[in-house]
Chains A and B, each alone.
Chain A
Amino acid sequence: MASLINVFLIVVLLTVLVPLGVLVMISLLPPGEWSIPPKSPTLDNFVYVFKEFRFYRNMLNTFLFIGLAILISLVLALPTAYAIARLQIKYYVWVFTVVLVILVKSLPPGSLLVPVYELLWKLRLTNTVLGVALSYQVYTLPFVIWILTSFLLDLPREVETAARIDGAGRFARLRHIIFPLSIPGIISAVILGFLNLWNEYMYSSVIVSSRNLQTAAVVLGQLVTSEYVYDWGILASANIISVLPAIFFVSFVQKNISKAITGGIKG
């Protein structure tokens, strides 16, 4: 019975690995060739993507936007999540806040695109790093509040009570107790936020139009949607390079990833 299950799982594994293997093999194709597996594999595509195409600039842009967006979210989210999870708040205020967090978290980002774009346009923030990071708040702010609240709700209450007894007020508790103890929750918020936004296409492509601020996803998107793709090898190798940070992130915290994902599900 157990071996039958494993055989079945190996089949499932193949359905995952074959498409991934195909992507790797495409990246090794020399120009003009498209046989799988490649007859004369080459690493030239990777060299081209890095040297000529200067794809790393777009990746750095992505890092910068996401980093700033998550930083803004964390600063806004920590006190809010703390209050939702721990402080005595008037019940209707609490319900109002939670409904707001879940509503904004769950609304399709597309439904907010028009007003957000118009607002940033009027503030002359389109085509700026800050503008992109602010538009990303649609994704990151409610998400980070959600993750941190779930995390704080699971934190044992007695430690905070002990801090109260020791004379720590709300501000001191947030700084000396809640913040350091939330670091695992903050890490999972950062990782999941990164994985989520690395993917982002809609806001990144609308808020930014200048070439040197474009994100990796947008550049790749333009390559893949052009009617005729000549250089599949370059496209695939650029894709592989773009996914390396994500793979790195995940393998770095492989054990915690399912915990991070499931950590948020309870709420």
Chain B
Amino acid sequence: MSFLTKIRRKTPNEFFLIPGLIGLGIFVFAICYSIYMSFYRYKLGFMQPNYVGLTNYSMLLHDPVFTTAVKNTLFFVAIASTSELLYGIFLAVLLYWSNKRYLFIPFLIVPMILPAVNLVVIWRFLFHPDYGFVNQILTSIGLSAINPLNNPKWAMPTIILMDIWQMTPFVMIIVLAGLSTVPPEVLTAARIDGARKFQLTLKILLPMTKNVILAVFLLRLIDAFRIFAKVYLLTRGGPGVATETIELQIYNRALRGLEIGLGSTMSVIFILISLVVIIPYTIMVLKNWRR
């Protein structure tokens, strides 16, 4: 028996986890480092870290721009993911009952694969105040032109609309896959009992897909926290602070301003907020993966 074989046999199974754990460990270290740095004032390249206790936290909690960013983020996450879930389920059900679904699906999922930049180009052009497509139509039928991206009241709803346009297909395709796993015998049995399509959908199909729906909702919630590119490219947080988000704050104040201490504090707050959706998702995965 060669020396190498001996070593191989002795390695515990946990050894195989090491490559991934090292990689992930760096990010865990990064989180810990953020927590540590959140108690310091530290401008990268300009000054040494300087312990300030909870000053960063109290400063941010009294900072109107940052608290608005937190509110905006939560508003976006709640409204966008709920709308996408409901609209996505609706479209999935329509496709489920359509005999031509294979014609529709390839086109309906295109928005999902578009980069945010493409979306922003489309959206900025559609809503351009002077020559935008929407205004061309509005003025041609005698209505007054609109400029939602420059209107504090309408800027965030426009971003939400853009996100719905892009991410609903994701919900749709996964719910449709879930619906397709409902055994046909169950449907046939219910049909023989006289159920119509509408009742079948509400009473049988959707209840039997509820685990998939829950999973896709959690995934959408988690993903909705990552809207940086769309907001940054479309409105840069404006007009005013109407579309300011936590990600934008971290990007502009911490990275552009090199304020590592303050940025770390923002990161810690951001992580704490997102844990509200991450924890239930983690529990779900642990249950599903348990062997």
In the complex with contacts A111-B250, A113-B251, A116-B30, A23-B118 CB distance below 8 A: yes
B117 adjacent to A87 (CB under 8 Å): no
A246 adjacent to B122 (CB under 8 Å): no
B260 adjacent to A118 (CB under 8 Å): yes
Size bracket of the A interface? 35 or more
Indicate which residue in B13, B37, B107, B165 contacts A87 across the interface (CB closer than 8 Å): B13
> Is residue A95 contacting chain B, with contact meaning CB distance below 8 A?
yes
B174 adjacent to A265 (CB under 8 Å): yes
In the complex with contacts A114-B34, A169-B8, A224-B120, A2-B98 CB distance below 8 A: yes
> Is residue B138 contacting chain A, with contact meaning CB distance below 8 A?
no
Q: Cβ of B288: which chain A residues have Cβ within 8 Å of it? A: 266-267
Alpha-carbon distance A267/B222, docked complex (angstroms): 14
Alpha-carbon distance A224/B118, docked complex (angstroms): 9
Alpha-carbon distance A247/B106, docked complex (angstroms): 11
A223-260 with Cβ < 8 A to chain B: 224-225, 229, 232, 235-236, 239, 242-243, 246-247, 250-251, 254, 257-259
In the complex with contacts A99-B282, A198-B115, A111-B270 CB distance below 8 A: yes
Q: Cβ of A246: which chain B residues have Cβ within 8 Å of it? A: 113-115
B174 adjacent to A22 (CB under 8 Å): no
Q: Cβ of A236: which chain B residues have Cβ within 8 Å of it? A: 121, 125
| CB closest chain-A residue, reference B36 | A115
Secondary structure at the A interface, as helix, strand, loop or mixed, is helix
Q: Cβ of A187: which chain B residues have Cβ within 8 Å of it? A: none
> Is residue B9 contacting chain A, with contact meaning CB distance below 8 A?
yes
Q: Cβ of A1: which chain B residues have Cβ within 8 Å of it? A: 97, 197
Q: Interface residues, chain A, CB within 8 Å of chain B?
A: 1-2, 5-6, 8-9, 12-13, 15-17, 19-20, 22-23, 26, 34-36, 73, 75-77, 79-85, 87-90, 93, 95, 97-104, 106-119, 121, 137-138, 141-142, 145, 149, 153, 169-171, 174, 195, 198-202, 206, 217, 220-221, 224-225, 229, 232, 235-236, 239, 242-243, 246-247, 250-251, 254, 257-259, 261-262, 265-267
Using A77-B20, A119-B33, A262-B178 as known contacts, list a sample of 8 further A-B pairs with CB atoms less than 8 Å apart, ordered by residue number in A.
A13-B107, A89-B14, A99-B282, A106-B274, A201-B229, A217-B116, A243-B113, A243-B114
Q: Which 3 A-B pairs have the closest CB atoms?
A: A80-B20, A83-B16, A110-B247
